[in-house]
Amino acid sequence: MKDNILRYLRENELIAPGATLVCAVSGGKDSVCLLHMMLSLQDELQITVEAAHLNHRLRGAESDRDEAFVKSLCESLGVRLTVSRADVLSRCKQTGESVEEAARVLRYQFFESLGKPVATAHTQDDNLETVLLNLVRGTALRGLCGIPPKRGKIIRPMLCVSRAEVETYLEQHALSHVEDSTNASSLPLRNRLRHEVVPLLARENPKLSGSVFQMCEILREEDAYLDGAAASLLRLAKLPDGGWSCRTLRDAPDVLLLRAMRQLLSELSISKPSRAHVEALMRLVVGKDGSQSVTLPGGKILCRSYDKLAPDLRESPASFAPKKLSLDDETEIPELSLRVSCRFVKNFEKSMLSPCTFALRYDTIKAPKDLLIRPRKQGDEIRLPGGRKTLKKLFIDRKIPASQRALVPVVTDGARVLLVYPFAVSSEHGAQPGEAALLIQFMHEKEYIQKEDTQ
């Protein structure tokens, strides 16, 4: 196991000689193994090993027990330890994130604050669960690549070993650990996959986690190759006076053009574009010659003038005009290249939801026929599970630039804010399965490409 991890570290160039490596230690099996293993390798790697522990304060006395255990472990091993505490539940109330997501964000913020390379204890089994999670939720090639060995300053030296190998290592070295009681819960999807789905698959292939790990390594190479080819396509299409040649771009296969468009949007500081935005941009590139434009998140505009694709440097709309939402019809907001539909359903089902479709409980709305979609107003508030929050605070938490906040659609039934697209639905007005509801759908894809007068 030691030789396997050492080879994996060197093959992937995960840590440089002379570096100080911080091991993230929760006190569980994997992280205890990680710390002990990296200490045994520090002379060969010519590194210094430290440890860090974040107390998420989610399990009361059990969380404090974990912290005390890690302190004792590091003291016995002579390892420098950095400990911090996080208020996960407060973040959930502020942002509306799930407990798992809020904990993950705070954990990686803590790692970033250390200012050094950080090793986490992910194993082949964690990688397998991640791939299955992505499959269940729906994914493209990148989601099948699993957990990368390195991302920024975060490295995963133990991705090449299984959980069973970790347990054997702990037994051989008489290493103790603590158990997280929530790992036995069947509520998180990851746990259900671990306890129910993986054992069934492992009956067909006892080396399942290793097989999936090898698949991920192959797919990562192919994914990196496609990224490189897409970057080359963008360089080839670059015009001397700025912008890109649509003729060059549209000659590429769709799979390559899709990646190139994502990279182009990244160059424009749009890091997580929706599929609808990317496909609208592709249609702009491959469409008939002429003048067209695509409106992107944040009001940025890409224009096509015959063969040339380039950003429109004109100012985007500062706001938009309020519109009454028509029941069982569509309302157009031209400033945002957006259409909004509103329809009544007698029995709401969760399958009706999507990232752009929201359900409001019908009997809590004062005047369903008088719903308004408008920009935010000073003093606007929305009720979230953790209490009331001003829209100003919501936008700050979501890191929406002040210049773009008046472009965020707000749905109201008078004075009350029911929905802030795409960030939040009022906890007072969100529909539950089986209830009568109003389905509000925001549609970009057909309205993003706008013909311009070329006369």
Statement: residue 286 has pLDDT above 50:
yes
> CB–CB of 13/43 below 8 Å?
no
| Mean pLDDT taken over the chain | 89
pLDDT top residue among 368 and 22: 22
pTM, rounded to two decimals: 0.67
> 63 or 415: which carries more pLDDT confidence?
63
Q: List Cβ neighbours of 87 (8 Å cut-off, separation of 6 or more).
A: 57
Cα–Cα distance between 170 and 159 in angstroms, integer?
17
Structural domains of the chain, with CATH: 2-205 (3.40.50.620), 238-312 (3.30.465.60), 323-451 (no CATH)
Side-chain half-sphere exposure of 56, counting CA atoms within 13 A: 22
Residue 433 has pLDDT above 70, yes or no: yes
Instruction: Return the percentage of the chain with pLDDT > 90, whole number.
Output: 65
- Lowest-confidence segment of 55-59, 197-201, 228-232 by average pLDDT: 55-59
Mean pLDDT of 139-164: 95
pLDDT top residue among 139 and 159: 159
Residue 171: predicted pLDDT = 96
- pLDDT for 83: 95
* pLDDT computed for residue 403 by the predictor: 64
Q: Which of 21-35, 91-105, 230-244 has the lowest mean pLDDT?
A: 91-105
Place of tokens 């505009």: 301
Whether residue 453 is predicted with pLDDT greater than 50 in this model: the reply is no
Q: Does 452 score more than 60 pLDDT? A: no
Backbone φ and ψ of 155, nearest 5°: -120, 155
| Per-residue tokens: 87 | 């208020």
Query: Across residues 426-450, what is the average pLDDT?
Result: 78
How high is the pLDDT of residue 249?
95
pLDDT tier for residue 340 given thresholds of 50, 70 and 90: very high
Judge whether residue 20 has pLDDT over 90.
yes
Query: Three-class SS of residue 384?
Result: strand
Q: How confident is the model at residue 289 (pLDDT cuts 50, 70, 90)?
A: low
Contact between residue 207 and residue 128 where contact means Cβ atoms under 8 Å apart: no
